Structure formats: C-alpha cells, structure tokens
Structure 1
Amino acid sequence: MKIDRIHHVAYRCRDAKETVEWYGRMLKMDFLLAIAEDLVPSTKAPDPYMHVFLDAGQGNVLAFFELPTQPPMGRDPNTPAWVQHIAFRVKDRAELLDFKAHLEVEGVDVLGVTDHGAFHSIYFFDPNGHRVELACPDPDEADMLRRMDAVKWQMLEDWSKTKRAPPHAAFFHQREFKQ
C-alpha cells in the first residue's frame, strides 16, 4: 500500500466568498466546487458549513470551511506564526518575482525573497491569517537536494538526541540570494 497523492488540504476561513475571491485574484486559483450542509456527513453533528475547493495546480486542491456557528478562528498560541503554512511551487525565479510584485501592488505585505538553498520563497498572509509561501526551484536544486538526501537520516538521528541543529547541511543556507 502507498498513498497516491494528497486529495485536498482544508483550512478554516472567516468568509468563504472573500476567501475564494482573494485566492482567485492574488494567486490565480480557479474556484472548483462548493459544498454546503447543515449536518456534518461524517459525524452527523448539526453544524452548518460552506466547504469551498480551489485549484492549486496539477491536481492539487486547496479547500476551506466557513463555520458560522462556531467560535471565531484562533491560532495555537504556542506555535509561532511562521511554522504553520501552506507552500505552493511556481515555475521559476521570474514568476516568483512577478507574484511578489503583483501581491505588493494589491496591498499584500510580502516577506522575502528568502534563499533556502534548493528553492527560494516569499511569504505572506491570506485574509484568514494563514501564512502562505510561494517557492521556486533554485538553478542548483538537483545538486542541493542530492546533497541534502545524503545527510537526512544522520541529521534526524542527531536532532533526536540533542534537539539542536546538526551541522550536516549548513551549506543549505550559506549562500546569499540576490534579487
């Protein structure tokens, strides 16, 4: 047995219509499907919801639930805002910079470009407070990933013992990205 792929990833949103329109305008995602129920199909709990699905490219689907009868959305106060995020891949550096410019013109506060070695990223928040990352491959992606693959198990083992960043992949963040 083996997982084929992710069917969809679901997050909560404050307003389904606002969310669909924002992802369409900002990230050019098409609106695929909406499902609304008064009862949760899996639990039969009376909890009305709107469930919307967006095309995130190549069969990937991003979904949101609006839950009007539930308390307002919150975050885990013990998890830093930069940790929980969803990342989307774009074709190349030029497209990443085009998205950065587009988002900034639309008034979105964008962090980056950040060089992660094998890829480069920008970060921003959607209208629901979810952190979003757009990433493009580095020209040396294949070599960097090969080098990272060679040390991944030893890094994991060392981390599990010390809970400190092992030096095996220090090369990954040692370059400076120039826009």
Structure 2
Amino acid sequence: MRKIQVQGVHHITIVGSTRQSALDFWEGVLGMPFIFEQPNLGKADESHLYFDPGDGRLLTVFTNEERVDARRPAPREVGSMEHLAFNVSRATFTQVPARLRERGIDFIERDRGFMNSIYLQDPNGMKVELACYKFETPEGHRAADVLMRAHQLRVERGDHHIGDEHLADAIEDLLAERERLEH
C-alpha cells in the first residue's frame, strides 16, 4: 500500500474560550499577528480566529462568547496533545522569562540538550513550549539533518542524550560531506 506523503503542518486549531481571551494570549502574549476572523463553518455558535505563528502558516482558535477560560491544566491522557511548541530566536528566548514574569505568567525552563525550552500554559491550560535550538542550521540543510546526525553520533558514542559536542560534530560532518560532493 502506498503512503500519503505530508509536506509540513498546514495549520493547528485550538478550542478556546472567548475572542478576547484568544487575542490577549496568542497576539498579546506570544506576538502572533491576528489575521482575520470568520464564523466556524462547521459549528454555527463559534467564531474562527486566524493567527500567524511566524512562518506564514496558521494557528486558529475556535471561540464562543458563552465559554470561560478553563484555567486548569489540560488533560494529559492517551489521545490528547501533550504540548504545542513554537520556535523563537535566541535573542527572544533570553527575554522570555522577564516578559512572562511581568505578566504574572508561571513557566518552567528546561535544557533539552540540543535546545532550550520554556513551558507555560494558555488560558485554557494547554501547555505551550517556546523552543530555541542551540545551533544554527548550515545553509542547504534542515535542522532535522543536524539532529539526525547528532543522534547517530550520540548512539555511536554511547552517550545519554544529544549535547553540544554532538551538534558541533554533526554540523562539521554535514559540511564536510557537502564539500566532498562539490569536488
């Protein structure tokens, strides 16, 4: 049987509470430009708000003025989404803790070996991650190329997780391979 080949995320849709709550968080806190609003064509009592998460794709939120913010952690069970991650630059990442504290938003910061992460919750308890790779992707490659090679090096060396040395060596390997192919 032939598989269906996807080409990236088209959009993500979240069930939100009110229009203002969605605008305050997605545009106000996370800086995603609000693009437009229209009725939810599949559910007449909801509006459908569209935001740009920074890569030209879409994040959308279903809202209904009868709902209130859940203000509790979202369910974490089989079939649920654990979290939604967004890329931020290193410069922005270093500013996130202070900016969240200014707004009274709780967060957790983690070093993931190959990236740094800050986790917070939207007004309905959905976990949101702001992630920043610890490397610059070499021209002509994707971040996934660097990570696949770094993982391979980590496994070959018997290391617990991907670290800076794996990333540096992976980038060096990718650039050397490109050099060999060009000559």
TM-score, with length taken from structure 1? 0.68
Structure 1 residue 90, shift from structure 2 partner: 0.7
Between the two proteins, the alignment pairs up a number of residues equal to: 151
SS in 2 for 1:98: helix
- RMSD in angstroms over aligned alpha carbons? 3.5
SS in 2 for 1:96: helix
Aligned to 1:171: 161
- What per-residue deviation string (whole Å, max 9, x for no partner) do you get for residues 14-67 of structure 1? 112211122212111110121214x62xxxxx6421111111011121111124
**AA at the equivalent of 2:161:** F
Aligned to 1:51: 48
**AA at the equivalent of 2:113:** G
Would you say the 8 A contact 2:18–2:66 is kept in 1? no
Aligned to 2:89: 91
Structure 1 residue 108, shift from structure 2 partner: 0.5
**1:61–1:150 distance in 2 versus 1, CA, 3 Å:** farther
Would you say the 8 A contact 2:154–2:161 is kept in 1? no
- What per-residue deviation string (whole Å, max 9, x for no partner) do you get for residues 52-85 of structure 1? 1111011121111124678x96944646x9x611
Would you say the 8 A contact 2:154–2:160 is kept in 1? no
SS in 2 for 1:48: coil
Distance 2:154 2:89 in 1: 27
Identity of aligned residues (%): 25
Q: Which residue of the other structure, out of 117, 121, 127, is the alignment partner of 2:123?
A: 127
SS in 2 for 1:21: helix
Q: Which residue of the other structure, out of 106, 112, 115, is the alignment partner of 2:111?
A: 115
SS in 1 for 2:162: helix
Structure 1 residue 3, shift from structure 2 partner: 2.1
Aligned to 1:8: 11
**1:131–1:76 distance in 2 versus 1, CA, 3 Å:** closer
**AA at the equivalent of 2:52:** D
| Structure with higher strand content | 1
List, as ranges, runs of 4+ consecutive aligned residues in structure 1 with deviation greater than 4 Å.
67-70, 72-75, 140-145, 149-152
Q: Which residue of the other structure, out of 42, 61, 65, is the alignment partner of 1:64?
A: 61
Structure 1, unaligned runs of 5 or more: 41-45, 153-167
1:22 paired to 2:20: no
**1:28–1:58 distance in 2 versus 1, CA, 3 Å:** same
